[in-house]
């Protein structure tokens, strides 16, 4: 099991979470971040850092966001890794 970035990150993209990740498993998409589930070690360091509460353990993901499990798995390998904090998307 892994942690998942879900709906609240869409068009937001705060990056506070990436700087605390000990295994660099965050990837930056155009409109949101993704966690590579094959790299996540479930340390939970990222969870309290997310100001919009967009990161969930796969077992605790709200039912209406279950599609984000596959989205993170599919998108993370196609995006560049992100390890440093950046400005969030405009308007957030």
Return mean pLDDT, the chain: 95
Where are the chain's structural domains? 3-78
List C-alpha distances in Å: 76 to 4, 5, 42.
11, 11, 16
The 10s digit of each residue's pLDDT in 17-30 is: 999 999 999 999 99
The 10s digit of each residue's pLDDT in 60-89 is: 999 999 999 999 999 999 999 999 999 988
Farthest-apart Cα atoms in the chain, separation: 33
CATH 3.30.70.20 for domain 3-78, yes or no, is: yes
What is the rounded distance in angstroms from the CA atom of residue 62 to the CA atom of residue 15? Answer: 22
The 10s digit of each residue's pLDDT in 1-51 is: 799 999 999 999 999 999 999 999 999 999 999 999 999 999 999 999 999
Bridge partners of 4?
Answer: 56
Confidence at residue 90, expressed as pLDDT on a 0 to 100 scale: 63
Q: What pTM was estimated for this model as a whole?
A: 0.94
Which stretches within the chain are classed as H helix?
67-75
């Amino acid at each position: 099991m892994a942690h998942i970035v879900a709906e609240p990150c869409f068009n937001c993209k705060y990056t506070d979470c990436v700087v605390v990740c000990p295994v660099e498993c965050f990837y930056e998409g155009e409109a949101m971040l993704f966690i590579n589930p094959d790299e996540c070690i479930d340390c939970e360091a990222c969870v309290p850092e997310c100001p919009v509460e967009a990161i969930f353990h796969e077992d605790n993901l709200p039912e209406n966001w279950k599609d984000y499990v596959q989205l993170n798995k599919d998108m993370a390998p196609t995006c560049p890794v992100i390890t440093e904090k950046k400005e969030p998307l405009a308007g957030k």
